[in-house]
Structure 1
Amino acid sequence: MSLFTDILPLGLILFACGVTLLGGFVKGAVGFAMPLIMISGMGILIDPKLVVAGIIFPIVVSNGWQVLHAGLGQAREAVRDHWRYVLVVCVMILISAQFLTLIPTRVMFFILGVPVVVLCAIQLLGWRPRIPAQRRRVFEWGAGFAAGTLGGLAGTWGPPTVLYLLALNTPRARQMAVQGVIYGAGSVMLLLGHLQSGVMNAQTWPLSALLVPPALAGMWLGFKLGDRFDQNRFRRMTLLVLIIAGANLIRRGVMG
């Protein structure tokens, strides 16, 4: 345990595990939001750069599970249909991750909090962009650029990906498979990017590894119990809580 308490006090480690368990449960139940929950929840008490390091292993492993859960056949079709978006997301995650260590802590709270509030509010309000078929390629590059940049800096590219798939009017079952591929590929790039940036290092990887079991336990519970919930109501409640947590991160950026 001393390996972990060298990074954080025991109380904060238990807090991080609890937040991760909740994030895994929501991901298993409704298929999204684990990084957002971990960032906005852990960021209340823990240094934001350490939070970004902490989420890396859990999202790599959980997204791999999501890909397998959707089926490898579906994954191959998703890569074939959305390879441009996947490519630019992965490249931008690798590039933008290198700038994380240069950003002051107060600015990091804004980088983490503002996207959480804006992207959750967009989903809560039900706004759905519409992209004509002839402009799909331009939209793929642009949306992928934005999602990958946010992913490298804040560890989350899920909400922009959801908006991208909604804009293409992707059927829900298909959307879950595509999300699994995009999240899985992006999470591997996030790991590689932050190994290069130094955010994931000998001091931070033990915390990230420690958070894998609660993430998987939460996902397992979400898979088992998710069908018992009113999915729309549960999703709305999750988004509202995330907006409140994101607003608190912004407050910390303003007040220090």
Structure 2
Amino acid sequence: MPGLFTLAIALSGMFLIAFMKGAFGGGFAIVGIPLLSLAMDPITAGALLAPLFVVMDITALHYWRPNTWSRVDLAMLLPALVVGIGLGYFALRDLDRHAVEIVMGAVTLAFVALWFLGGGEVKPRPRSTWKAMLAGLSSGVTTMVAHSGGPPLAIYLLPLGMSKALYAGTTSLFFTVGNLLKAGPWLVLATPSKSLWVLMALCVPAVPAGVWAGWRLHERLDQRALYRACYAILVVTAAKLLWDGLAGYVRA
């Protein structure tokens, strides 16, 4: 059986991620590995999270139905996501992941800075095939490397000025596909011990509870509040990416 401290950290982390999945549709799982790393090494944390994300996605699809999916955007994003996850697997296995974290963190902070300079308003922009493909590819790489695919996707979707339900539903389905694809590779990279499987099972009840609580919050948020919350979380996640990347080089 896992220790009480490890169990408490894992349950808290899963509830928080599931809560944000219900409220925002996904993309903020980056908090998972840093939080769980308080009780275990990052690779083990990633292996614990990968199968639980699949459970979370299946739960979230109960709320984010097909009428909340932007099919035109998903048609451009998903093929690039598949390629990105493949590249991310080899990056995680063979390359330095800290450089990826630093670049993505810097790009995301620059994107948010432009938003603030624009007066904190979401200014709708036309769709771009190449921007969608770049976002899907970048998200695939970063979600595989560090469960942090949210910022690249948000950089593409937020300026489209979607309704809050369409934004949440689109990101939910996007990461459902991504998490299904990366669960197997993560388990290959870090084969879970019997204790870790037990910890996964104990964390499962936190998933539907968190998704439901987040979805209820989403229903009460207005459009402006949701977008502001998304940008605020982007700042936190981008800062965490930068910190992890730079700290990795310092430790080395």
Q: Structure 1 length as normaliser, TM-score?
A: 0.74
Provide closer, same or farther for how the CA distance between residues 219 and 124 of structure 1 changes in structure 2, counting only shifts above 3 A.
Answer: farther
Q: Which residue matches 2:119?
A: none
The AA in structure 2 aligned to 1:82 is L
Query: Could you tell me how far apart the structure 1 residues matched to 2:226 and 2:73 are?
Result: 28
Query: 2:57 aligned with 1:36, yes or no?
Result: no
Report deviation, 1:171: 3.5
Q: Which residue matches 2:115?
A: 126
Report deviation, 1:26: 2.9
Q: Which residue matches 2:175?
A: 183
Q: Which of 244, 247, 250 matches 1:249?
A: 244
Query: Could you tell me how far apart the structure 2 residues matched to 1:201 and 1:137 are?
Result: 37
Provide closer, same or farther for how the CA distance between residues 245 and 99 of structure 1 changes in structure 2, counting only shifts above 3 A.
Answer: closer
Provide closer, same or farther for how the CA distance between residues 33 and 81 of structure 1 changes in structure 2, counting only shifts above 3 A.
Answer: closer
Q: Which of 74, 89, 92 matches 1:82?
A: 74
Deviates more, 1:116-125 or 1:206-215: 116-125
Query: Could you tell me how far apart the structure 2 residues matched to 1:73 and 1:231 are?
Result: 19
Query: 2:46 aligned with 1:52, yes or no?
Result: yes
The AA in structure 2 aligned to 1:199 is L
Query: Could you tell me how far apart the structure 2 residues matched to 1:242 and 1:91 are?
Result: 23
Cα deviation code 1:160-217 (max 9, x no counterpart)? 112212344434332222112211111111113324xx12524286144443322332
Q: Which runs of 5+ in 1 are unaligned?
A: none
Q: Secondary structure at the match of 2:170?
A: helix
Q: Which runs of 5+ in 2 are unaligned?
A: 117-121
Q: Which residue matches 2:19?
A: 25
Q: Which residue matches 1:154?
A: 146
Preserved contact between residue 89 and residue 148 of structure 1 (Cα < 8 Å)? yes
Cα deviation code 1:97-146 (max 9, x no counterpart)? 2442335xxx556655764575367447637798655xx22222222221
Q: Which residue matches 1:91?
A: 83
Query: Could you tell me how far apart the structure 1 residues matched to 2:24 and 2:12 are?
Result: 18
Deviates more, 1:119-128 or 1:143-152: 119-128
The AA in structure 2 aligned to 1:61 is V
The AA in structure 1 aligned to 2:108 is L
Deviates more, 1:78-87 or 1:200-209: 200-209
The AA in structure 1 aligned to 2:10 is A
Query: Could you tell me how far apart the structure 2 residues matched to 1:23 and 1:124 are?
Result: 25
CA RMSD between the two structures:
3.4
Report deviation, 1:96: 1.9
The AA in structure 1 aligned to 2:153 is T
Preserved contact between residue 124 and residue 236 of structure 1 (Cα < 8 Å)? no
Question: How many residues were matched structurally?
Answer: 241
Q: Which residue matches 1:199?
A: 189
Preserved contact between residue 44 and residue 192 of structure 2 (Cα < 8 Å)? no
Q: Secondary structure at the match of 2:62?
A: helix
Report deviation, 1:234: 5.2
Preserved contact between residue 44 and residue 248 of structure 1 (Cα < 8 Å)? no
Provide closer, same or farther for how the CA distance between residues 239 and 181 of structure 1 changes in structure 2, counting only shifts above 3 A.
Answer: closer
Q: Secondary structure at the match of 1:70?
A: coil
Q: Secondary structure at the match of 1:101?
A: helix
- The share of aligned pairs that are identical, in percent, is 22
Q: Which residue matches 1:217?
A: 209
